[in-house]
């Protein structure tokens, strides 16, 4: 898959990887997660000043190594206006090290989908650490507790947050991950809706069992597929389906988009009128920052935690829920989420019930044939 | 009301005279290197054709691609400094970070980060530091720079810092051109700042070009007001245009689409504008071009302008026809403005799409005997290929299964043989100068883009406040209050934020007040 890695799967991330990584991450954002464009530019700036970062497979480090998890927390739209000072996540990570008394050996993404794909890469370059090839979601989700790490029992404390001004807030004792989400959400608003969050160090043996593996390389491969298909003027959507094993569930045009705010989240619903093979059909998609459920002609066909991804029919550009609008022509594809997100424990946190759909029973998608 | 619409394109300068809603005359003249000569020629020609004297003309509207082309071609751009009020935020990405290197080299790498800026809810990131700004002004002066762009974090929410910094800079740098980002763009710091910097680097040029327009109009005896058209199909007066040349970007396609809507009387349609080298296809909704939803690049620089969602292909009246049978290709190469010497029908030696159409009896143009030798099978194959290309791009522009009509405009319209994609075809009168008509009928607008906390005031009140502000902005821009309509309302909840923080964008447009 990667042509320059050493035998153990370790490889240096290079400037040319940043664009495909950001495109793949945007796609895995399933409509949310914020745009990785700013993070891509920041990474490029650091690399041009000489910073380097290695991506490590999950079996590279010993069981007792400590792994840090960092990410941005706030509103994606604030992220494109109040761009980071640059060391928000780094300061938060150092604070967690100080309070816990544990030195990190590597960092890992909380969520590969969207802007948070880039934060550990940036922090790792600043700290001189490697980044693990995996993450805690395999996609994007709106809340802090929705990672495989928390689902399988990672400590909610100590955690730390930092803002552009250098304020650092430490969460020393936190009852559980839901309390952390609540405190972190309110703190992020006080910090101007853009802050860095670092979570308690996790042991490598725990991470090896609970991380969704290979998602950095997966995002890279998806991004390269999109760029290659565009350059050769091939059908981008078809190529994405071939390389990921996704399934095409609908093509059509957005005929209505309704949005409302509930509990600090963007909720809403999009209606899509079918075209091509789906001419005469109608689909709708429920949204909470990310795409939650796809119904075709009234029947639920994809639902959380599986991935519902809207792509521009012509360019293959992932369409985030914020820019979803009337008249857009798009293809909706479904990608099975990792098995770690389908267990009974995971269903309680990221299943349809957790998102307020008590009547839906999760029916997992199957992978289609994969060509690479 | 008598008005003149002018469209200054890269090849032709088109002009029309309109009396109320009637087009009295429309002409084309070659665009000149100095702009002014071509505009004077077009004006004289169109006034003669309409049997009109300049003193009877109430108002003149001009659309121009001059500023877009200056950025695309990296010419006539001034050295420019960017001052961003932001610290400590945003230090990770300096201004112009995502620009093409050659453009950055052209205007110099002059950027400064200073204290200031707001949070999303209007709180202050850090107070303005006058001494710091005066120090930056000293450096700008020392480098001999006369154009300054000022940006601030969340200036679309509160523009106070940009205004204060602008005043400090203006006092410290007398005579400098100063552009504030909040005057130009919406939320999205890099894109808005990019637009402000491009505007600042065009200020020397805009002074000259607007003076050339003013000179051309005076030359034909017109002394009234004149306007330039913006990318959203609305007007700005000459003084405003001189200060905000960047707002003319992409006004060409907008004008031709608006002109098509006017000439055909159809408000919802697909517009196909066929020129000499390219065909632009876009869609009209309620008489306005549908806007692009993704970031639009101009000369390699990312912007968040309101730009029409236009799809272009390399097909025009001057496109080359090469090969035959299955190997036959049409475009994207074109003889362009050299068509009058190079096409077969004009005695040249290059087979173009226009030759094919004339040989097929589809148009009276040039000397038909010069294409009498063409093989009927080749003519048929080329016409089929052209029809296929047009059909393909019309299909891409369709946004609903609804059978919208297709309006064809532009000098290359003779290429169209019959209905495209089975849709009703409209070829309006004066189709060749639709862009100048679009300029003549342009409206004036006002827009707001603000973040409201709906917990404090409720959605209805927030929308009403935004509509009121947009209406005030339209009146300030010269709209007649009784004609103002709200044409666009968009509210996007800001994800992850409690307090129902919502971004509201409203646009109001109205007819220009004349008199």
Task: Single out the residue of A353, A358, A340 nearest to residue A136, CA to CA.
Answer: A340
- A306: number of Cβ within 10 Å: 21
Strand partners, B63: B7
CB pairs under 8 A between A and B: 138
Residue B281 at interface with chain A, using a CB cutoff of 8 Å: no
Task: Single out the residue of A75, A72, A77 nearest to residue A89, CA to CA.
Answer: A72
B275-286 tens-digit pLDDT: 888 888 998 887
Of A77-91, B129-143, B180-194, B427-441, highest mean pLDDT? B129-143
pLDDT, mean of residues B306-315: 81
Predicted confidence at residue A4, as pLDDT, reads 45
Higher pLDDT, B146 or A320: B146
Predicted confidence at residue B486, as pLDDT, reads 84
d(CA A332, CA A275): 12
Global confidence as pTM: 0.86
A32, A45, A279 ranked by CB distance to B92: nearest = A45
Tell me the shortest Cα–Cα distance from B204 to chain A, in angstroms.
29
Chain A residue numbers with beta carbons less than 8 Å from the beta carbon of B92 are 42, 45, 83-86
Q: Give the chain B residue whose CA is nearest to the CA of A186.
A: B498
B97, B120, B493 ranked by CB distance to A260: nearest = B493
pLDDT, mean of residues A29-53: 93
Q: HSE, CB side, 13 Å, CA atoms: give it for residue B460.
A: 0
Higher pLDDT, A51 or B232: A51
Work out the mean pLDDT of chain A and round it to a whole number.
91
For B70, phi then psi, to 5°, come to: -60, -40
d(CA B99, CA A304): 39
d(CA B178, CA B182): 12
CA distances from A240 to A229, A309, A332 (A): 9, 11, 12
> Contact B274/B410 with Cβ under 8 angstroms?
yes
Tell me the shortest Cα–Cα distance from B416 to chain A, in angstroms.
25
B328-368 tens-digit pLDDT: 999 888 887 778 889 999 999 999 999 999 999 998 889 99
Task: State the Cα angle at B397 between B392 and B401, rounded to 5°.
Answer: 95
Selected residue of A261, A268, A289 to mutate for chain B interface (largest B Cβ count, 10 A): A261
Q: Give the chain B residue whose CA is nearest to the CA of A315.
A: B294
Q: Give the chain A residue whose CA is nearest to the CA of B113.
A: A85
Residue bearing tokens 């869609």: B283
**Omega into A111 within 30° of 0, i.e. cis?**
no
Predicted confidence at residue A347, as pLDDT, reads 96
pLDDT, mean of residues B129-151: 97
> Contact A363/A352 with Cβ under 8 angstroms?
no
Residue B478 has pLDDT above 90, yes or no: no
**Distance between start and end Cα atoms, chain A:** 8
- The conformational region for residue A272 under phi > 0 = left, psi -120 to 50 = alpha, else beta, is beta
Predicted confidence at residue A261, as pLDDT, reads 58
Range with the poorest average pLDDT among A294-298, A359-363, B80-84: A359-363
> Contact A17/A131 with Cβ under 8 angstroms?
no
Selected residue of A23, A83, A312 to mutate for chain B interface (largest B Cβ count, 10 A): A83
Q: Give the chain B residue whose CA is nearest to the CA of A323.
A: B293
Work out the mean pLDDT of chain B and round it to a whole number.
89
List of E strands, B393-497: 406-409, 425-426, 444-453, 485-493
Predicted confidence at residue A5, as pLDDT, reads 45
Residue B500 at interface with chain A, using a CB cutoff of 8 Å: yes
B223-251 tens-digit pLDDT: 888 999 988 778 888 998 999 999 998 88
CB within 8 Å: A192 and B123: yes
Tell me the shortest Cα–Cα distance from B331 to chain A, in angstroms.
17
DSSP A77-145: HHHTTS---S-HHHHHHHHHHHHHT---SEEEES--SGGGGTHHHHHHHHHT--EEEEESSSS--SSTT
Residues contacting A209, CB < 8 A, separation 6+: A152
> Contact B241/B84 with Cβ under 8 angstroms?
no
Chain B residue numbers with beta carbons less than 8 Å from the beta carbon of A84 are 89-90, 92
Q: Give the chain A residue whose CA is nearest to the CA of B99.
A: A41
**Omega into B88 within 30° of 0, i.e. cis?**
yes
> Contact B260/B23 with Cβ under 8 angstroms?
no
Q: Give the chain A residue whose CA is nearest to the CA of B96.
A: A41
A6-33 tens-digit pLDDT: 557 899 999 999 999 999 999 999 998 8
Q: Indicate the pLDDT class of residue B131, thresholds 50, 70 and 90.
A: very high
> Contact B446/B479 with Cβ under 8 angstroms?
yes
Question: Which H or E run contains B161?
Answer: helix B160-172
CB within 8 Å: A327 and B496: no
CB within 8 Å: A41 and B98: yes
> Contact B295/A41 with Cβ under 8 angstroms?
no
d(CA B8, CA B92): 41
CB within 8 Å: A264 and B492: no
Supply A86's token pair.
């640059």
A77, A164, A253 ranked by CB distance to B399: nearest = A253
Residue B491 has pLDDT above 50, yes or no: yes
B43-65 tens-digit pLDDT: 999 999 999 999 999 999 999 98
Tell me the shortest Cα–Cα distance from B82 to chain A, in angstroms.
16
Predicted confidence at residue A2, as pLDDT, reads 41
ipTM of the complex: 0.89
A66-76 tens-digit pLDDT: 999 999 998 77
Chain A residue numbers with beta carbons less than 8 Å from the beta carbon of B495 are 32, 75-77, 142, 264-266, 289, 322
Residues 469-498 of B with CB under 8 A from A: 491-498
Predicted confidence at residue A294, as pLDDT, reads 97
Supply B425's token pair.
């075809």
For A22, phi then psi, to 5°, come to: -70, -35
Residues 338-357 of B with CB under 8 A from A: none
């Amino acid at each position: 898959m990667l042509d320059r890695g050493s035998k153990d799967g370790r490889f240096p991330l290079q400037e040319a990887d940043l664009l495909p990584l950001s495109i793949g991450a945007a796609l895995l954002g399933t409509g949310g997660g914020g745009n990785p464009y700013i993070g891509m530019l920041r990474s490029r700036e650091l690399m041009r000043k000489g910073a380097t970062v290695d991506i490590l497979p999950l079996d590279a480090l010993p069981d007792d190594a400590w792994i840090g998890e960092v990410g941005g927390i706030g509103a994606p739209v604030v992220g494109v206006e109040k761009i980071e000072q640059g060391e928000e996540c780094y300061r938060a990570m150092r604070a967690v090290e100080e309070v816990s008394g544990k030195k990190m050996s590597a960092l890992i993404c909380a969520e590969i989908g969207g802007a948070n794909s880039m934060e550990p890469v940036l922090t790792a370059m600043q700290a001189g650490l490697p980044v693990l090839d995996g993450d805690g979601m395999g996609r994007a989700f709106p809340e802090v507790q929705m990672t495989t790490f928390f689902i399988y029992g990672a400590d909610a404390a100590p955690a730390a947050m930092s803002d552009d001004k250098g304020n650092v807030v430490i969460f020393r004792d936190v009852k559980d991950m839901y309390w952390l989400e609540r405190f972190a959400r309110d703190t992020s608003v006080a910090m101007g809706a853009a802050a860095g969050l670092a979570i308690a160090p996790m042991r490598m043996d725990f991470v090896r069992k609970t991380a969704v593996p290979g998602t950095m390389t997966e995002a890279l491969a998806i991004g390269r597929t999109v760029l290659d298909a565009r350059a050769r003027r091939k059908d981008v959507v078809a190529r994405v389906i071939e390389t990921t094993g996704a399934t095409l569930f609908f093509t059509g045009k957005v005929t209505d988009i309704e949005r409302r705010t509930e509990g600090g989240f963007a909720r809403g619903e999009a209606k899509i009128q079918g075209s091509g093979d789906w001419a005469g059909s109608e689909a709708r998609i429920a949204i909470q920052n990310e795409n939650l459920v796809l119904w075709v002609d009234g029947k639920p066909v994809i639902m959380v935690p599986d991935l519902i991804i809207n792509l521009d029919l012509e360019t293959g550009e992932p369409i985030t829920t914020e820019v979803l609008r009337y008249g857009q022509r798009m293809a909706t594809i479904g990608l099975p989420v990792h098995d770690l997100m389908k267990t009974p424990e995971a269903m309680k946190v990221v299943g349809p019930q957790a998102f307020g759909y008590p009547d839906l029973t999760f029916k997992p998608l199957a992978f289609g044939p994969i060509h690479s | 009301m008598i008005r003149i619409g002018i469209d200054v394109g890269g090849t032709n300068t088109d002009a029309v005279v309109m009396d109320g809603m009637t087009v009295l005359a429309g002409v084309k003249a070659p665009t000149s290197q100095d702009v002014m000569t071509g505009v004077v020629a077009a004006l004289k020609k169109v006034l003669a054709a309409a049997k009109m004297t300049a003193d009877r003309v109430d108002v003149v509207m001009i659309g121009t691609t001059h500023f877009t082309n200056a950025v695309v071609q990296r010419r006539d751009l001034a050295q420019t400094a960017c001052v961003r009020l932001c610290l400590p935020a945003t230090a990770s990405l300096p201004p112009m970070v995502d620009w093409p290197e050659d453009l950055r080299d052209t205007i110099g790498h002059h950027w400064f980060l200073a204290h200031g800026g707001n949070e999303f809810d209007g709180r202050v990131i850090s107070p303005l530091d006058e001494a710091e700004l005066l120090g930056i002004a000293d450096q700008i002066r020392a480098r001999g720079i006369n154009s300054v762009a000022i940006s601030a974090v969340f200036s679309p929410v509160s523009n106070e810092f940009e205004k204060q910094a602008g005043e400090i800079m203006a006092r410290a740098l007398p005579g400098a051109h100063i552009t504030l980002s909040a005057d130009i763009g919406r939320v999205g710091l890099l894109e808005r700042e990019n637009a402000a910097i491009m505007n600042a680097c065009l200020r020397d040029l805009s002074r000259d070009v607007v003076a050339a327009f003013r000179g051309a109009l005076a030359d034909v005896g017109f002394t009234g007001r004149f306007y330039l058209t913006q990318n959203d199909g609305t007007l700005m007066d000459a003084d405003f245009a001189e200060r905000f040349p960047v707002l003319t970007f992409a006004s060409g396609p907008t004008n031709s689409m608006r002109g098509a809507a006017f000439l055909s009387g159809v408000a919802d349609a697909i517009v196909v504008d066929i020129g000499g080298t390219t065909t632009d296809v876009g869609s009209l909704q309620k008489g306005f071009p549908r806007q692009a939803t993704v970031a639009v690049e101009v000369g390699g620089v990312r912007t968040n302008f309101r730009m029409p969602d236009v799809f272009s292909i390399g097909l025009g009246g001057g496109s080359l026809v090469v090969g035959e049978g299955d190997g036959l290709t049409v475009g994207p190469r074109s003889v362009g403005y050299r068509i009058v010497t190079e096409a077969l029908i004009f005695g040249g030696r290059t087979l173009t799409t226009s030759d094919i159409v004339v040989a097929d009896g589809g148009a009276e143009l040039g000397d038909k005997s010069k294409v009498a030798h063409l093989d009927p099978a080749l003519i048929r194959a080329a016409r089929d290929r052209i029809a296929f290309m047009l059909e393909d791009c019309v299909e891409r522009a369709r946004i609903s299964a609804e059978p919208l009509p297709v309006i064809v405009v532009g000098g290359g319209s003779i290429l169209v043989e019959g209905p495209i994609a089975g849709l009703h075809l409209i070829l309006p009168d004066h189709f060749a100068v639709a862009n100048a008509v679009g300029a003549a009928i342009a409206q004036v607008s006002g827009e707001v883009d603000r973040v409201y906390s709906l917990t404090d005031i409720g959605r209805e009140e927030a929308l009403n406040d935004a509509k009121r502000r947009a209406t005030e902005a339209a009146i300030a821009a010269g709209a007649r209050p009784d004609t103002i309509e709200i044409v666009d309302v968009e509210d996007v909840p800001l994800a992850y934020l409690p307090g129902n923080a919502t971004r509201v964008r409203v646009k109001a447009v109205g007819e220009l007040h004349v008199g």
